[in-house]
Structure 1
Amino acid sequence: MQLTNFTDYGLRALILLGALPDGELTSISHVSDTFAVSRNHMVKIINKLGQLGYVKTVRGKNGGICLAMPASDIIVGQVVRDLEPLQVVNCAPEFCHITPACRLKSYLAKAKDAFLAELDQCTITDLLADNQELLILLARPE
């Protein structure tokens, strides 16, 4: 299963924000620069993550972004569900004439469920815990 770039960068943004000391704000520009993604694309991602309650945005001169909840409460599988379309194939009869007899869709559904079940075992904290190498990479100025 391949995630969209939107979900990929959304997860990366949450990892970076989770690595910040509690209460510390950063900018969308910092996140987009860290991952070499356009600022406009990152604005859309952060906006969506904010709507979903994962990211808090603070306006003003000293504003920025940070996690809206503890990193330990952010379950990777749920983030993927919230950001990703998750339709593996289009089984609508108008797109595929074998849909009524096809067994592939049930196997794909089971595979998707197993994929998400594995990601449900992981939080943003799990990705950061005892991962000094990652913390160093996230702190590296480019």
Structure 2
Amino acid sequence: MNEAITHLKVPIEREENNVCLGPDGSVAHVTRVLRMISGRWKLPILFRLFADPSMRTSQLLRDIPGISQKMLTQHLRELENDGLVLKTDFQKQPPHVEYRLTDAGHGLLPVLMSVREFSRRHGDISGADLTP
């Protein structure tokens, strides 16, 4: 067997290749999650929301240095559309809007902690810069 065929090394029962590579396969699911969290500011937003149950936009702006209002709004909207963040509008004047993680967003925490541990153990492999 060809050693370069990595999809056969995924720890799942041996079935057809579409289990891993098909439209509902492992690769498609992992790619979907990576797309959901890709973007310079999504991980800082998610980690801030992991730390606090709900936050207003102004709190997120204060706590995430370098992010602009436009990028915060854009990434929050994308995270909301992907079902990771819930926006609550209190319909008040002045506007009062809060963001919190959904159950799916909370479910992502163990995955991100595993990725963090992988980086801590194997971070010297790539020599990549850890700053965003």
Q: Normalising to structure 2: TM-score of the pair?
A: 0.47
Larger RCO, structure (CA 8 Å, separation 6 or more): 1
